[in-house]
Amino acid sequence: MKRTRRGLESRWRRTRSVSDRTRAKASLRAYSVAMRAARKTFSTARIASATNRPRELFQVVRELLHPPEEEGPSDHLTTRCGEFAHHFADKVARIRSDLDADISAEPGDVTEAPVCQILLDSFQLVQPDDVDKVLGAVRATTCILDPCPSWLIKLAGGGLADWFSGIINASLQQGHVPSCLKRAIVRPILKKATLDSLLLNNYRPISNLPFLGKVLERVVASQLQEFLVETDYLDSSQSGFRPGHGTEMALVALVDDLRRELDRGSASLLVLLDISAAFDTIDHGILLGRLSGMGLGGIALQWLRSFLEGRSQMVKLGDTCSDPWPLTCGVPQGSILSPMLFNIYMKPLGEVIRGFGVRCHLYADDTQLYYSFPPNSKEAAQTLNRCLAAVSNWMRANKLKLNPDKTEALLVSRGTNRGIGWQPVLDGVALPLKAQVRTLGVLLDSSLALDAQASAVAGRAFAHLKLVRQLRPYLEKSDLATVVHALVTSRLDYCNALYVGLPLKMARKLQLVQRSAARFLTGAGYREHTMPLLKQLHWLPINCRAQFKVQVLTYKALRLGPYLSP
């Protein structure tokens, strides 16, 4: 069709006849219609394949809205790869060197006493049916180290299950992870889209691991998770990467505690700790000591030691890779087991904090400390500062580096008690009290009114709705609804349990976003009443959605036990 269009256009340019011009224009229109139909079919298929996987769906929409640019010259990528590799390696080396040279840490805080008996000395072997289920659960993220695309392996499914189960069982029986599965390809990812892309410090390393290694990790992670649940090992304040837990539950518990203290007339100081390269500086010896202390031994502990040691990684940009470098500490970001191992590593911190009467919540490397006290208390400063000093000492002893410059503090109090006359101190740095802080994606202010949060959510949701409008010519209505749910209404629903009791002025901002999204999906005019549209779409209004979320969380709190219960 493209060749025909060009031929008719060339003929018209030669003859300049009216009939040739008419045929050329008709061919151009037909070609444009066919291109739009082809793009719609292609986009529909991609969105349908990623409907139940939000991360892939966001990637598809991003590519539809902003097609990827061509890579720059290869010599530039080669230089850039080397720069990233040296930066990531040197950053961890500097942090570990500073921590190793610090003599103020107390070694007694490092490891736990071994338990009296080994509770898990080997991992259970798997059957082909088990492997087939794991293959269906693991995302098809192909690594350049894989011999074939991961989607092809998943498509083969049961045909490879026997082969996979043989390799996995051999690894579990021998307590050994093959070295080819411990090499990682690192992709530098900007920490925030608004940061300067030329500064190396604005990137974090995300590891892309071989597909077979991920399948093996998934098998071990499921058994290790069962062991953690049976032994109730993890701290109750840890909510990251645990079944039945999440950011919303952590934030609801935090805000509920702070609001209860406000009702009692107390003030509260919320401190958000920042840890530099937390996953990358974990000490393997300390982690293995924790694993031994929780009851792991024998082949199971040997397998985890093999998983941690002898790893290497290299940076990849485009088709260019840097030279590999060995990893002597840390766990790879992007690994399935890494978040679970990090939780085990951080478990004693909650006990350290609560020893001073300070409460906390831990979500991966995001640590929230909050201490409530009477506004005129004279001992509050001393108590909190002693707690922060103990936390700092524990971090140094466990080879983790606190960053006081990025640690934030918020005073939560009534309007008549806005000042307390002192600031918390961390590693000799006085932490300024901010008007608002962002934790786990939510903006909190000193009165917990959530005005800034509602305004920020409405602004981002409107911006994404404006972008989604550009996709109308290329997507079916059902696919548009999927994209709107993923990019717009999901933002309205995130942590919306906190919006109960939100002032009408702020709630109206969020309601306007929902109304605009409803009009967009139904094709209604901007003057049309939206309540019938919401009923047509089966959408609850903003205030009802918040109340419904509270009821769901209440039900979960009654079922999950003490985590959310007061």
Does position 100 have pLDDT exceeding 50, yes or no? yes
Query: Residue 477's pLDDT band (boundaries 50, 70, 90)?
Result: confident
Residue 244 has pLDDT above 60, yes or no: yes
Give the pLDDT score at 104: 56
pLDDT for 131 beyond 80: yes
Count the Cβ atoms, other than its own, within 10 Å of residue 18.
9
| pLDDT for the residue numbered 78 | 64
Percent of the chain with pLDDT over 90: 51
Distance between CA 562 and CA 126 in Å, rounded? 34
Residue 222 has pLDDT above 80, yes or no: yes
pLDDT of residue 42: 76
Q: Indicate whether 265 pLDDT > 60.
A: yes
| pLDDT for residue 115 | 54
Which of 312, 310, 303, 308 lies closest to 285, judged by CA? 308
Please report the pLDDT score of residue 566 as a whole number: 47
Whether residue 470 has pLDDT greater than 70 = yes
Residues 417-427 pLDDT 10s: 566 788 999 99
* Among 41-55, 164-178, 231-245, 259-273, the least confident range: 41-55
**Global pTM value:** 0.84
Look at residue 330 in the predicted model and tell me its pLDDT.
92
Whether residue 114 has pLDDT greater than 60: no
How many C-beta atoms lie closer than 10 Å to residue 193's C-beta?
Answer: 6
Q: What is the pLDDT of residue 354?
A: 94
Between 167 and 561, residue with greater pLDDT: 167
pLDDT of residue 43: 73
Q: Determine contact, residues 359/349, Cβ cutoff 8 Å.
A: no
Q: How far, in Å, CA of 116 to CA of 137, rounded?
A: 36
DSSP 418-466: ---S---EETTEEPPEESEEEETTEEEETT---HHHHHHHHHHHHHHHH
pLDDT of residue 75: 47
For residues 143 and 138, give the distance between their C-alpha atoms in angstroms, rounded to a whole number: 13
pLDDT for position 562? 56
pLDDT > 80? residue 191: yes
Mean pLDDT in residue range 210-221: 93
CATH code assigned to 252-275+341-445:
3.30.70
Check pLDDT > 80 for residue 309. Answer: yes
Mean pLDDT of the chain: 86
What pLDDT shows up at residue 70? 46
Residue 15 CA: distances (Å) to CA of 4, 20, 28, 31, 535:
16, 8, 18, 22, 59
Domain borders along the chain are 2-49, 74-234+280-331, 252-275+341-445, 451-560
The DSSP output letter for 487 is I
The encoded tokens of residue 121 equal 């000395």
Reported as a pLDDT band with limits 50, 70 and 90, residue 564 is low
- Residue 341's pLDDT band (cuts 50, 70, 90): very high
Q: Which of 87, 167, 80 is nearest to 128 (CA)?
A: 167
Is residue 429 a contact partner of residue 404, using CB atoms and an 8 Å limit?
Answer: yes
Mean pLDDT across 467-491: 86
Helix, strand, coil shares, percent, the chain, to 5: 55, 15, 30
28-83 pLDDT tens trace: 888 888 887 787 777 777 777 666 666 677 777 777 776 655 444 444 556 788 89
Q: State residue 199's pLDDT score.
A: 87
- Between CA 337 and CA 223 the distance in angstroms is 11
Pick the closest to residue 345 from 298, 395, 305 (CA basis).
Answer: 395
Q: What is the pLDDT of residues 266-283, one digit of tens each?
A: 999 999 999 998 999 999
SS3 211: helix
Q: Give yes or no for residue 107 having a pLDDT over 60.
A: no
With a CB cutoff of 8 Å and minimum separation 6, the contacts of 345 are 282, 286, 287, 290, 398
Strand (E) or helix (H) holding 151: helix 150-156
